[in-house]
Structure formats: structure tokens, C-alpha cells
Amino acid sequence: MAVQIIAEAGSNHNGRIDYAFKLVDIAKEAGADIVKFQIINPDELYVPYYWEKDNKVINEVYQRRMTEKLDYDDWRKIYHYCKEKGILFTASAFDKEGVDFLYNLKVPFIKLASSDLNNIELIRYIAKKGMSTILSTGMATLNEIEISVNEFTKYCDPKLLRVMHCVSSYPCDLSNAGLNKIDELKKNIPCEIGYSDHTQSSIAACIAIEKGVTFLEKHFTLDKSLDGFDHKYASDLDEFKSYCKDVRDVEMDLNNDQFIQRGEEITAIRARRSVYLNKEIQKGETINESDLVLLRPAGKLSPSDKFRMIGLKAGEDLRAYEPLQLSQEFVLRDNNPTWKKANDFWSNEMKEKNMK
């Protein structure tokens, strides 16, 4: 099964539907399987202000989130735009109304953010709707994860739940990616395991694939210089395209059961040695050890064939450094030599490196 790449657009639309459309385009162009947003109703997520004694202090995050809020008509338009572009749409929901909206859209899954892993009421609400769900595990202990998973599976088929390793640092240093947590989750949680990658390269994702994750999530943006919570550490188009390519290449390699890999055949010709004569030998002459050298490129004869050749006779006139082959009794010329493949490689290499 192919690793699913979730392009995490989050709130990087900055409250503009045209930006949301551009994010969909980037996710599609980069090669992601699904684009995911965050449907945030600030009134259901943040206190609008704080109290300092008798003084009201405005919550700046709440105010900013209000400027970024898209209404459900906007989200429907984004959903249909995804359908037109041929990429799946989904979102994180942070309240029951958002869950209902995504349920009615029949999204492939709903995401529950790490911040709501301990929100048992919301977990139960999603589970009772029978929605396929990804549960993110940033900041959580294994015990907290198990409690939430058990709560979900009380009301819903366990096969509908996937659990995602996450480190809630933005960005996350590679040295702090906590990739061994994937092994712990696989051992203790009876669900598919994924990885929400907040690092700045594809290295952690490639390791996670080797550890057996079945889906990845990666934040991306249309412009890293835009103002907003997630733009600075998110991947731009070129970075995200490179990330998706790396993921697919690693996935292809892990599914590759060939012992000798593609491309090694020509390398074997140019890098290995064959047995050559270092002088002309006339037909009928006996081959001595001093007549033989082991040089590149490889031909039909391997270095170990040298010992078989000593004492044999030339079956025809042979020239120095001519490709050779063996019969039962004679050393013969190889009329289907491989040296041209090696020579073509070397010529192209020197040309590419401006060596001539």
C-alpha cells in the first residue's frame, strides 16, 4: 500500500479563498494525495480576552484568528475546487459544528489535532458519527493516547481510527523528531500509524517510512514570507515537491526486492576488471601468466578466469588489450565486446564535468 501524503495547508489561506485555491494547486502539483485545512471557529477555540485583576486584556490570537476565518460557503467552494483539480479535501475540526460540516461533506477522514487528544467529549462525538479519523499525538503520553483510542473504539469500528506520531514543536529539529515513538505506537496501539512531520527536510519522513508508517502529513505554504502562524516553517512549492519525490523514491526502494539494483550493470562494466593480454599472441601460442593483466573495463572474463587461461593456447591471432573469451581448449577473441558501454559512460561523464 502506498504511503499517503497529506498536504497540511492548515490556516495558511490567511482568510482569503484565492489563497486557499492556490494552496490546493500547490498540493496537487507537488504530488500529494490529499490537501487538509483547519476549520477554526475562534469563538469555540479561544477565550476572547483575559482578566488581570479588574482589567480586561484582549487575546491577540483570538483577534487574529477572527480575521482568518472562512465561512462554510467558502469551505464548500474550496471542497468543490479540490474535486475539479482531482485531489481529495479534508480538514481538522475543533468543535462539533465543524465535525458536522465535514461529516455532511463526506470527507475521507477527519483530523483531530494533538491539542484535542484529551478532549474526550469531542472524540466521543466524532466516534458516534462513525467517521474515519486521524488522531494526532503531540504532547501526549502513551497512557493518554491509549485512553483516547479506547474512548474512540467504544463507539466506532477500530479500523476507522488512525494514530499519528507528532512532536508539537514548530519547526521541529531533526534531533528532536522522536522517531522511536513510532515503534512504541506500533507496539501498543492497534491502529495504522502515521507521522506528522514538522522538521525542515525529508530525512525524518524517510526514516518513518522505513519504520512502517502508512501516511505522512507535512505543512506547506504558498509563500514563506507571508505573515501568519505557520508560513515561516512550512514548505514552499519547490520544497514540497522535493519532499514528495523523496518520499516516493524511498517508498519505491523499500518495495524493491532486486539484489542488484538498476544502474549497477553499467557500473559493473566500467568499474570491474577483465583479463587482457598485454601483447600480441599468435594462433597456437601458449598463454603465460606474464602475458596477462587485469584491467578495466569488464568483459566476459572475470579476474578469476586468469588462472584458467594460463597454459591454454590462442585459438586465433590475438591483439593486446583485445576483449577475450574462453572455449574448452582455447583463448579466443570476444566478438561482442562490452567496452563501448563503458567508453560511452566515461565520455558522457567527462563532457558533463567539462573535462574535455
Question: What's the confidence (pLDDT) of residue 225?
Answer: 95
pLDDT band at 356 (very low <50, low <70, confident <90, very high): low
| Residue 316, beta-bridge partner list | none
Residue percentage of the chain with pLDDT more than 70:
99
**Backbone φ/ψ region at 285: left (φ over 0), alpha (ψ -120 to 50), beta:** beta
Question: What's the confidence (pLDDT) of residue 188?
Answer: 97
Dig out the grid coordinates for 205 from the structure. Answer: 519522513
Contact 217, 197 (CB under 8 A): yes
Q: How far apart are CA 356 and CA 353, in angstroms?
A: 8
The one-letter amino acid code at 302 reads: S
> Angle at Cα 126 formed by Cα 67 and Cα 63, nearest 5°?
15
Averaged pLDDT, 270-282? 96
Q: How far apart are CA 246 and CA 240, in angstroms?
A: 10
Question: Which residues does 339 contact at the CB level (< 8 Å), separation at least 6?
Answer: 269, 297, 299, 323
Q: Model confidence over 81-134: pLDDT tens digits?
A: 999 999 999 999 999 999 999 999 999 999 999 999 999 999 999 999 999 999
Q: How far apart are CA 334 and CA 325, in angstroms?
A: 5
Q: How far apart are CA 201 and CA 220, in angstroms?
A: 12
Q: Is the pLDDT of residue 1 over 70?
A: no
Q: Is the pLDDT of residue 145 over 90?
A: yes
Question: What's the confidence (pLDDT) of residue 328?
Answer: 84
Q: Is the pLDDT of residue 287 over 70?
A: yes
- Label the pairing between strands 292-295 and 274-277: antiparallel
Residue percentage of the chain with pLDDT more than 90:
90
Q: Is the pLDDT of residue 60 over 80?
A: yes
Task: Work out the mean pLDDT of the chain and round it to a whole number.
Answer: 95
Contact 115, 123 (CB under 8 A): no
Q: Model confidence over 299-319: pLDDT tens digits?
A: 999 999 999 999 999 999 999
Question: What's the confidence (pLDDT) of residue 66?
Answer: 96
Dig out the grid coordinates for 33 from the structure. Answer: 494525495
Q: Is the pLDDT of residue 155 over 80?
A: yes
Question: What's the confidence (pLDDT) of residue 299?
Answer: 93
Q: How far apart are CA 109 and CA 94, in angstroms?
A: 14
Q: Give 3-state DSSP helix, strand, coil % of the chain, rounded to 5.
A: 40, 20, 40
Q: Model confidence over 180-226: pLDDT tens digits?
A: 999 999 999 999 999 999 999 999 999 999 999 999 999 999 999 99
Helix (H, G, I), strand (E, B) or coil at 57: strand
Q: Is the pLDDT of residue 262 over 80?
A: no
pTM: 0.85
| Residue 307, beta-bridge partner list | none
Question: What's the confidence (pLDDT) of residue 264?
Answer: 85
Question: What's the confidence (pLDDT) of residue 255?
Answer: 84
Q: Is the pLDDT of residue 261 over 80?
A: no
Q: Is the pLDDT of residue 258 over 80?
A: no
Q: Model confidence over 331-346: pLDDT tens digits?
A: 999 999 999 999 998 8
Question: What's the confidence (pLDDT) of residue 19?
Answer: 98
Hey, how many other C-beta atoms are within 10 angstroms of the C-beta on 287? Answer: 22
Sorted by where each starts, the structural domains of the chain and their CATH numbers stand as 4-254 (3.20.20.70), 268-342 (3.90.1210.10)
